[in-house]
Structure 1
Amino acid sequence: MREKFNQFMQGRYGYDDLNRFLSKVFFVALILSLIGTFAGGWIPGIAVVSRVLYWIALVCLAYCYFRMFSRNIYKRSEENNRFLQRTEGVRSFFRNKKNIMEQRKYYHIYTCPGCRQKIRIPKGKGKIEVRCPKCGKTFIKRS
């Protein structure tokens, strides 16, 4: 069975970042639609919103499968590249925040009072005098 599926998928585009995003939108819209369906009796007007979210979920799912099973690899790749270019700012923002949070385990990150440059100091060194590499200003901080 697995071999038949692999044979079927040969020459088809497959799964990429845009499909991953579309599938997440699908699940969020579907869950919100289900919540709206069950809360329809308590909140007036939510039934219309629920139906709209349901249709958004179905369109996202259909487009995701269309892209995955498409044989036009060049066009699907171009769509994915456009998506990645348009979302680069948001993705880099969250990548930087994740990197800073990982570094906080081993380092303190201070801001220079002179030039606002971020300076990374290892934890556990006690009170130390920090010299900013950009402007040369020195200040004392606990590490």
Structure 2
Amino acid sequence: MRGSYGLDKLNWAMLITGGVFTILALVFASSANPVLYWVFFGISCVFLVLVCLRMFSKNKAKRAQETRSFEAFFAKLKKTLIPSAATIEEHKNYRFFACPQCLQRLRVPRGKGKIRITCVRCGHKFVKRT
């Protein structure tokens, strides 16, 4: 359709999510509880309708803003759940503590025994074992 928004990352994610819920509905179709079938089937239908509405929408600015919000959320989620190689390497060599007063995240070397840590933000001193 000319002038419509088309498929983007958010539409693909919603399409895949709708497919997953459809498969779950089919799994629960043969179970003793038909309520789960209708719940999953209804959720999958909602996702598929939303994909169609977004795909044929002519309001490109609004759809682009929704996609940017989704990508920002997904990047933050990915950063939280999947640590980078540098972060993993850092955790091998350093311990991380939070200052009891200002909650600043502090990095100290591992294997030094009991050390006195000084917060760089507030100057509070506390003792921890590394």
What TM-score do you get using the length of structure 2 for normalisation? Answer: 0.63
Q: Which of 90, 93, 97 is matched with 1:110 structurally? A: 97
Deviation of the 1:83 alpha carbon? 6.4
Does structure 1 residue 135 correspond to structure 2 residue 127? no
Equivalent residue pairs, number: 124
Separation of aligned partners in 1, 2:118 and 2:43: 54
For the aligned residue pairs, the C-alpha RMSD in angstroms reads 3.7
Separation of aligned partners in 2, 1:86 and 1:140: 42
Counterpart residue number, 2:80: 97
Does structure 1 residue 126 correspond to structure 2 residue 112? yes
Which of 47-56 and 109-118 deviates more?
47-56
Instruction: Check conservation: 1:17, 1:80, Cα contact below 8 A.
Output: no
Separation of aligned partners in 2, 1:47 and 1:141: 56
Which ranges in structure 1 are unaligned for 5 or more consecutive residues? 1-8
Q: Spell out the pairing of 1:1-143 with structure 2 (5 A cutoff).
A: 13-39=5-31, 41=32, 46-65=33-52, 67-68=54-55, 70=56, 72=58, 75-82=59-66, 85=69, 91=74, 94-95=77-78, 97-98=80-81, 101-102=83-84, 103-107=87-91, 108-121=95-108, 123-124=109-110, 126-127=112-113, 128-143=115-130
Separation of aligned partners in 1, 2:69 and 2:51: 19
- Flag the 1:142–1:97 CA change in 2: closer, same or farther, 3 A: farther
Instruction: Check conservation: 1:33, 1:50, Cα contact below 8 A.
Output: yes
What TM-score do you get using the length of structure 1 for normalisation? Answer: 0.59
Instruction: Check conservation: 2:104, 2:121, Cα contact below 8 A.
Output: yes
Which ranges in structure 2 are unaligned for 5 or more consecutive residues? none
Fraction of identical pairs, as percent: 24
